[in-house]
Amino acid sequence: MRSTTYVVPFVVFLAFLTAKGHTGLGVLAEQAIWFIAMAAVIATVARPALDFRVRNWMGTIAMGIGVFVLWIGPDLLFPGYRAHWLFSNSITGSVAAGLPDSERGNVAVLLLRGLRASVIVPVVEELFWRAWLMRWLIDKDFWKIPLGAFVPQAFWIVAILFAAEHGSYWDVGFATGILYNWWMVRTKSLGDLILAHAITNACLSIYVVAAGKWEYWA
């Protein structure tokens, strides 16, 4: 199987993130186009690599909820600590709400944003980070390497890059990368990782709306 099957959805995902707010379209239109386009890319380009079978339901559900708690825990325990220069600087950026005040009561926008986080992102990111890159770093002929193969260098590089992807939240991103990587090694299942990631993001989306913590939606 070619790398493009795993990589193209992630590249398109990054392109949409880069274009956000610069298209001249309204927030609802951007969210709708983003969701439809990414769903189409997944259904066509990524389809050969998709496997949603879950091998460890209880453990995967626990992992997803646990990572959610890990994600919000530091900010609950130490309010304002993310304003420290380690998390707010020219390299990582700074914490900022990703949804305008005017759209926070728009049910359609909230629904699309939540679906994007809990349906699209887990598939795109798990295909790229743990189904492809963690194997590609072991051998460029990555399809020869089984899912969940453990090589320390690949494991830690993916965790570090996953942390970098999350900007000001690099600390919890790094911890999350380690946990998700470990769960892939343990389960050797793309379906389990997609489900765990989806649960984490769904819980986080509910928390964002219920608690008004819009900074978690970049």
Domain ranges of the chain: 4-216
Report residue 1's pLDDT band, with 50, 70 and 90 as the boundaries.
Answer: low
Report residue 117's pLDDT band, with 50, 70 and 90 as the boundaries.
Answer: very high
With 0-12 CB in 10 A as exposed, 13-18 as middle and 19+ as buried, what is 78? exposed
Determine if residue 149 is left, alpha or beta; phi over 0 gives left, psi from -120 to 50 gives alpha, anything else beta. beta
Give the pLDDT confidence of 74-93 residue by residue, as tens digits.
999 999 889 999 999 999 99
What whole-number distance in Å separates Cα of residue 147 and Cα of residue 166?
Answer: 24
What whole-number distance in Å separates Cα of residue 111 and Cα of residue 49?
Answer: 27
Report residue 20's pLDDT band, with 50, 70 and 90 as the boundaries.
Answer: confident
DSSP structural state of residue 131: I
Query: What is the pTM for the complete model shown?
Result: 0.96
Note the pLDDT of residue 194: 98
DSSP structural state of residue 139: -
